[in-house]
Structures are given as C-alpha cells and as structure tokens.
Structure 1
Amino acid sequence: MDDNNNNSSDERPTVMVTNDDGIDAPGLRSLVRVLVSSNRFRVLVCAPDSEKSAVSHSITWRHPVAVKKVDIDGATAYAVSGTPADCTSLGISEALFSSVPDLVISGINMGSNCGYHIVYSGTVAGAREAFFNDIPAVSVSYDWVGGKSSVDDYKLAAEACLPIFSAILDEIKNKSYPLRGFLNIDLPTDITNHKGYKLTKQGKSIFKMGWKQVISERQGGKMLSSMEMESDSSARTENDTSTVPAGYLLFKREVRGAVLDEVDTDKLSLQEGYITVTPLGAVSPAETDVHSFFKEWLPSAIQRFSSSAL
C-alpha cells in the first residue's frame, strides 16, 4: 500500500490517527486538519468505517476486514470495517502502510472517557492496542455537552493537545519515552477557558445503568459516543425500527444514577475545567487491600472446601 512515508527526505515523525466514532466523525477530521496544518508530522489515518462506540477492546478474529481508501487532505487514510483495536493493529502492522508510525493518536472522541468508563471505551482501546505492541499512544476525548458544545470545539481541543504530541515525539526521538504505559487525555467542555494541564489518575466514576422495555429503537433513545455525554439531537441521527419483531422483546439501557470520585481523579479534575492527562496501563490492578485479603483467603479457602468435599 502507498503512504506518505515514501518520501525518504521527509524527516518529520509519523502519527497515525484512529477513533471509535468513525472516519467521518468531526472529532477525527478536526484532529487530522490540525495535525496536517501544523506541518510537524506525516499523518496516516486508519479508522472504522462507521461508529464503533463503547466496543471496548473487541477485535475481529474469524473474518477478514474490508478496507477502503478515503480522501483526506494532507493525509493517507483508510476506512476499515473493524473495531478501533482492529484499526490500530492493522495500521501498525506494515501490511497497510509501509512503515510503523512513531505515535498513535485515538480520537478526538465525542464525550469524555474517565473513571470506569475507560473500560468501555473504543477510543481508549485504539491507543491501548498500540501500547500492547510497544508503540507510544494517546487517547483523546472532548467532554461534549449538548446545547453548549459545537464542532468548532474539536479544533480548539486538537490545538490544545499539540504541545503534548510534540513533547512525546521529542522524547521518542531521544529514546527517553517510557513504553510501560500510554496517556488518556480528556478536554473540558469550555475548552477556550480551560485551567491548564493536570496529571491525574483514573478514578472510579461511572454512571449506574438500568434497563427498560421499549417498543421501538426510537422510543428507547440512543446511547451516543459516550455514556458521559449529554444527548444532542443535532449531533447524530437516529435509525428507527418500526416495531419489535415477532417473538422478541426490546430493552434499552438508561442512566439511573452516577458514582463520583474523590479529589484529584480524572473526572473531577475535568469537571473543574482542567485538561486531564492520565497515564494508563494494560489493565487496572486490584487495590492493595483487596490483594492482601485474597493472599490470606486463597490458601484457607482451598483447604477448607477441599477437606469438606472428602
């Protein structure tokens, strides 16, 4: 496959962009335009051909994925029928592009990805897949709020991230960038008046979800790009199905409450107006007291129930 790395005289670092909202999403398009217009990077795009929000780190295993070249000014871009993790895996494999990117950027997501919602996020998975393969990566999300946000905010969000991208690539060039984690960036709704950049830790915030029975897709509403995003009718369109097929019942998720964090975690800092920068690993380890409990519990549990079974 051809890509814009073929110009051997171009010494700019290469970034590859993916997302979970789809290759036509305004967040990705704004990010790519800012990256290209900065003239600091060679830009590749390998993103889902349609929305793949909240698919977490699912991958396509048994079937091939379809790939189509897409025209995006200043970048070499492909739309893929798979998940965000598929897109990253393919994009860094050298099967699609002629070389491995220096940095993978996943986003900009429509809605924040903080706390336990990181587990659901296809955006974060796009970066995590690069991390699995020892390639520096960043996931980027904008805290979209219906009625307050506009597509112009994505450009401001991308520009606010440029110093971080450039600093990472400088560390990569100097071989001083740690590969034991990746970064998750969330940008506040009022990006114009953000309070600065703040290193945070992943918190435990989550929306408590329930289910309700509905008679059509439209009655149930639509979960948009993030469970943390307020619905905005102008942001997306809905596909309606007329009635429930014979013999089936329809159930839709609904938000029934929220659990918030303690101080200095990603969600609270984002709500305070900071651009949060959160280092992540492959998984979130159990807390120390939980590990200590099971360290003593496991031997006694096995002994107790093995004896009782005799």
Structure 2
Amino acid sequence: MIILFVAAEQAMPDSAPYHCQRILITNDDGIDAPGLAVLEHIARLLAPEVWIVAPAADQSGTGTSISLQDPLRIKPMGERRYAVTGTPADCVAVGVGHLLQATPPDLILSGVNRGANLGIETFFSGTVGAAMTGLMMGIRSIALSQKFTDGAPVRWETASTHGADVIRQISSGEWPAGVCLNINFPDVPPEQVKEVRISRQGRGLLNGVQVRSQQDPRGFDYQWLKLQRAPQPDADDAETPLLGLGHITITPLGFDRTAAAALSDLARKLD
C-alpha cells in the first residue's frame, strides 16, 4: 500500500478528504511532554475543537490500567485542557464519560509517544492503552509514536509533518470494526520517509524485564524495573522491520488475544 504525503503545516482546507468536529487527545508521557504538543498540532489540522485530557505526570508502562482504588483529581490547565492524576486510560474515561459526556469526540488520538510502540511491548504501552480504552468506549482511536535513537534528538518533525495526512487518509470512509490503530513514525527526517505500510504486530524488540536492586541514601533496598530490548526474528510484513526501513507503519489492534492454533490443539486433546 502506497500513500503520497503533503506536508501538513497549514490549517486544513475545506476540501481536505477528512474532517471531524471534535478530537480528544491524551498521552502517557504527561501533559507537559513535547510529544503532546506535536499531537495538538496534528489534531488542530484535523478539527476545529481539540480537547486535551492528559496525565498530570509520566504514566509510561501503565497499559490499559484504570484507577479503581484511588480518586482522580482533574485540574484545568487552560481552555479545553485538563491534567488528570491518573493513567492514560483514566484520562480517556474522564474525557469521554465526564468532560465530553454530552458531546462525545469524533476521534481520540494518543501520543505522540517518545519512542516506538512495537510488537508485544504494546501490551505495556500507556499510549496504546489509551487508544484501546477509546475503542472499548466506542470511539475511533489511534495511538501515535515516534521512533528515536538513544543519544540522538527525537525527530518530532517527522510525526508533525506527516501525522495529519496519514490520519486523514486512514480515517476517510468506513472504519474497520473492533479495532484501534497503532501508528509508528520512523527515525528519519520527514523528506526521507517511505510509503505507509499496513503491518502486522509481530514480535517486536522486547525480550525481558530486568530487575535492578539498589539502596537509597538511607540504606533501604529498592527495586527498579527496566524493559530489555534486542532484535528478534520477525516477519517481513511486521511493523518492526518495516519501521526500520523508513516506512510509517499502521497496525490494527483488537481485544481478542485468543491463540487460534492453540485453541484447535486444546480442543482436539479434550475430544
């Protein structure tokens, strides 16, 4: 699948192929994260009304978790802008079920995450978790992430340049039932981006969780978790190898985690 790009630096003209009235945006890096500012730029090219409901602090790694044991505090931060003391999924719930209950958003955008969200790592991702929560609440939802290289500046301009055009094209017409979309932008300058590819999730780079044991200044032990990543064997049409080649990848994600092969095998054993 090949999609041509036009840099999205001006407000969307009336003749653009996709338009919606109201967009809700969130993220997992926190309301002050630079990626959220990039996402706001993208959203304002797509809709006249943009609502920002984002975590008050970094909530990376929270997946689709919601706060059932603690109250949520909602702090106004400006016009249609709110910080929530909770997870990205909490923010979507607050946005759709409280702040925008009378006028639900046409689209939910989550990101732009600092770092790609690939393969099985998406189960931990708060960015993807927010989009999955939007899917559960019946709203079109998209997660967006910008790949970067450790020690190098994040190429936010790549997501900023291409984000609105990609969303317009995939959001026009019928929306695939029962899915949210996971978009990853490659770690290349905007002019070097290759055609968009529809991809499968694949294995990704995650290969473990490391537990680091240390002591604080008072001599008490604590443990710090760190995700371990390394190249893994993956299908050619999976998002990780395609992203590495410079493509923007779009992966449809759903809730059904049933392993079809194992389902048949277990059924045969019981028979």
User: What is the TM-score of this pair, normalised by structure 2?
Assistant: 0.84
- Determine which of 150, 160, 163 is the counterpart of 1:161: 163
Q: CA deviation at 1:16?
A: 0.6
Q: CA deviation at 1:250?
A: 3.2
Q: CA deviation at 1:69?
A: 0.9
Structure 2 gap segments, 5+ residues each: 1-18
Contact 1:13/1:169 (<8 A) preserved: no
> Is 2:149 the counterpart of 1:142?
no
Alignment of 1:1-310 (within 5 A): 13-36=21-44, 38=45, 40-71=47-78, 76-93=80-97, 95-97=98-100, 98-150=102-154, 153-171=155-173, 176-192=174-190, 193-216=192-215, 241-245=216-220, 248-253=221-226, 255=228, 257-286=230-259, 288-297=260-269, 299=270
For residue 31 of structure 2, give the secondary structure of its aligned residue in structure 1: coil
* Alpha-carbon spacing, 1:60–1:249, altered in 2? closer, same or farther (3 Å): closer
1: CA distance between counterparts of 2:88 and 2:242? 27
Contact 1:215/1:244 (<8 A) preserved: no
1: CA distance between counterparts of 2:46 and 2:182? 24
1: CA distance between counterparts of 2:182 and 2:199? 10
**CA shift digits 1:35-72 (9 cap, x unpaired):** 33x3743111111000000111110012320000113x
* Alpha-carbon spacing, 1:196–1:90, altered in 2? closer, same or farther (3 Å): same
Contact 1:131/1:179 (<8 A) preserved: no
Q: CA deviation at 1:213?
A: 4.2
**CA shift digits 1:84-134 (9 cap, x unpaired):** 1110111111x2134100000000000101110111111001000010111
| Regions of 4+ moved over 4 Å | none
Contact 1:102/1:169 (<8 A) preserved: no
- Comparing 201-210 and 255-264, the one that deviates more: 255-264
**CA shift digits 1:147-206 (9 cap, x unpaired):** 3333xx3243033121232235543xxxx3233211100000114211121000110123
Count how many residue pairs are aligned between Structure 1 and Structure 2.
Answer: 251
For residue 226 of structure 2, give the secondary structure of its aligned residue in structure 1: strand
* Alpha-carbon spacing, 1:252–1:131, altered in 2? closer, same or farther (3 Å): closer
Quote the RMSD (CA, aligned, Å). Answer: 2.2
For residue 278 of structure 1, give the secondary structure of its aligned residue in structure 2: strand
Contact 1:67/1:81 (<8 A) preserved: yes
- Comparing 155-164 and 189-198, the one that deviates more: 155-164
Contact 1:17/1:43 (<8 A) preserved: yes
Q: CA deviation at 1:76?
A: 1.3
Give % identity: 28
- The equivalent of 1:238 in structure 2 is none
